[in-house]
Structure 1
Amino acid sequence: MSQLLTPVRIGRVVAPNRVLMAPMTRSRASEGGVVGDMTVTYYAQRAGAGLLITEGVFPSAWGKGYVNTPGIETEEQVAAWKKVTEAVHARGGRIFMQLMHCGRVSHPSLLNGQTPVAPSAIKPEGQAWTPVGQVDFETPRELNLEEIAGVVDDYRQATRRAIEAGFDGVELHAASGYLPEQFLSSGSNQRTDLYGGSVENRARFVLDVLDAMASEAGADRVGIKISPEMNYNSITDAAPEETYTYLVGQLREWNLAYLHVALFGNPAVDYHALLRPLFNGTYLIGSGLTQESAEKLLQDKKADAAVFGAPFLANPDLPERFRVGAELNAPDRSTFFAPPTAKGYIDYPALVPAEVY
């Protein structure tokens, strides 16, 4: 029997299958960070997932890092997301919101002229996606202690609003070189106060944010995504094995909904073998999986569920296709971050066309 199609508990949620949809930036929101009717349809089409994890959503306007990405700060944004959760739940689905604060990986043109913030004033390599195209990152401004407390509270309030909008839980995006990983990593964090220096101090921001999120939703409705040695967005760490061993060890008794670990490339360390025994909860593996590779991970007890990105984007009924052995649609990568249009978003065919919301 397929392990992928068996139920699994994810915090308070009992998922009917272990085929989860990964958080994927789609850049279909309005300039004001409000999702529209197409986004309602997009997630409703994929409600057969064991769990849907949304695209990255900025907890406050300060955290926006890309053009046309959504937020969860204003009443209008909350009301728009309510339509999404209602449509997903109407089709029997479950959905978590990923909270993503981009920190230094942003640009003043996305922040009403304000300088991006970070643990330290270190300019990342690379370019930001702005309303006028790609432009070089700028040197960020270092957050002071009072501001750090304010950002932690932004996550707290965003979690409250996500639950108000009907989400079943929230995921902290602590990967991809965004603000939590900027604090966690020695290459982007050169602070000398209680948020920098030792691994205990560099992990403090992530733990503070998780604590704030759990205080609003309950720990069993909070997940965290990490990606050791991904090195995306100019992020580096001098001792990633030590860093992530410490962080995950701290989470062991938190009773979080899940730990989501996505590995890219070929790190010398087998982080799944290292981290899974340290986490006392549901362990999710993502990045580049196929039905066959995911089945093997589950059968070998290396993960509790599998997270699929592009295959779920192109196949709204992915679990059903796995069940019947149907051919998969190929994703059109040219439309991943296209302007807000239906092409490559809600026009992928399903085996049985679903009702449009």
Structure 2
Amino acid sequence: MTHADTETTQVLWAPARLGGIPLVHRLAMAPMTRSRATADGLVTGLTQSYYAQRGSLAMLITEGTQPSEDGQGYLATPGIHSEAQAEAWRGVAEAVHQAGSTLVIQLMHVGRVAHPANTPHGRAPLAPSAIAAAGDMFTATGPQPMPVPREMTESDIEQTIADFRRAARLAVDAGADGVEIHGANGYLLQQFVSSNANRRTDGYGGDIAGRIRFPVEVVTAVAEEIGADRVGYRISPGSPLGDIVEDDVAEVYGALVDALAPLGLAYLHVVHLGDEALLRSIRDRWTGGLVLNRAGADIERRAQDVRDGLADVVSVGALALANPDLPARIRAGASMNEPDPTTLYGGGERGYTDYPRLAA
């Protein structure tokens, strides 16, 4: 597989700005869970190497990082809710800045997509309603069905908003250029938005205004804490991940985007699943920076989205994972490494920091 640098892709190399985050070009790394943190949620020197290797990408959005112990769902994912975890991230931020890029830490609370065996405290997961997600969660003893979560009280909701706020503060104090709030892929914030995961009858459920309330309150608190121009928000309209069903995608995301737009965020990160009319509608409603993740598309198609005004920046996942020097490869029209699926989650250097560079 090769990607040539053509007239279409030239648009990617223009500088950009997402809120308070300056970008040397328009190609960013999408957030990807790699499950290589320590048991107590610390990123390591290997993590520093992994992100620094990809420093020729303009913005590196990190793997999902839990803002609290309750936010963890998977084994070996990092946290940013303790001083020690924040200090470990400081080393990553410094390494990325030395490599010439910017770092955005993604704050991910998984909600019901979890198993108590994977958390430090072994408590039942939190969710908008006591409805289990179908499917298994991988644990140290093998796959186990995801359990029925505990329906969050209003006190739990207040605490979770405070957790996001504190995590964002820890992230920017550790040197991150911003945070991205994960409202996609079936995790907690999307669970509130979804009609099958959220069956609440209080002010955080029911109609669309109730279902989008929690995500909007999380974003508002984080923006107040660190400045809206350092905050991104990720959505995946219509995604079925995490056993999510969204019956009213266009209406829900129209309302959510309209509620977030006045906050002046750095960017909205859209995981695009093929509904072109919805993407255009979101672009028309959103006045700030838009990062587009058109999964599986080639570089030319992604660049065309920038040319067409659908995106300001494009994010790439697997291509960046397997090609640490991706911009150089595109510019050279060089062949691409393919990602090794057996090393995506967990392990050490293999499939993480050992992908060959073009010079090699």
Shorter-normalised TM range: over 0.9
Quick check: 1:196 aligned with 2:205? yes
C-alpha distance in structure 2 between counterparts of 1:284 and 1:225, whole Å: 9
Name the amino acid aligned to 1:276: R
How far 1:96 moved relative to its partner?
0.2
Name the residue aligned to 2:221.
212
TM-score under structure 2 length normalisation: 0.95
Name the residue aligned to 2:115.
107
Name the amino acid aligned to 2:104: F
Name the residue aligned to 1:230.
239
Aligned residues, how many?
350
Q: Which runs of 5+ in 1 are unaligned?
A: none
Name the residue aligned to 1:305.
313
Offset from partner CA, 1:210-266 (integer Å, 9 cap, x none): 0111111100000000001111010112211110000001122221110100123x4
Give the alignment's Cα RMSD to 1 decimal: 1.1
Quick check: 1:276 aligned with 2:283? yes
Name the amino acid aligned to 2:212: A
Name the amino acid aligned to 2:250: E
- Partners of 1:5 and 1:16 within 8 A in 2: yes
Quick check: 1:17 aligned with 2:25? yes
TM-score under structure 1 length normalisation: 0.96
Quick check: 1:63 aligned with 2:71? yes
- Partners of 1:289 and 1:308 within 8 A in 2: no
- In structure 1, which of residues 143, 148, 151 is the aligned counterpart of residue 157 of structure 2? 148
Name the residue aligned to 2:258.
249
Offset from partner CA, 1:305-357 (integer Å, 9 cap, x none): 11100000001111121122121111111110132x1000000111246xxxx
| Structure 1 runs, 4 residues or longer, greater than 6 Å off | none
- Partners of 2:107 and 2:180 within 8 A in 1: yes
Matching of residues 1-357 of structure 1 within 5 Å: 1=7, 2-111=10-119, 112-264=121-273, 266-267=274-275, 270-286=277-293, 287-339=295-347, 341-352=348-359
What is the SS of the residue equivalent to 1:284?
strand
C-alpha distance in structure 1 between counterparts of 2:281 and 2:287, whole Å: 13
C-alpha distance in structure 2 between counterparts of 1:253 and 1:208, whole Å: 13
- Partners of 1:4 and 1:18 within 8 A in 2: yes
Q: Sequence identity, in percent?
A: 44
Name the amino acid aligned to 2:262: E
- Partners of 1:104 and 1:179 within 8 A in 2: yes
- Partners of 2:111 and 2:127 within 8 A in 1: yes
C-alpha distance in structure 2 between counterparts of 1:139 and 1:214, whole Å: 32
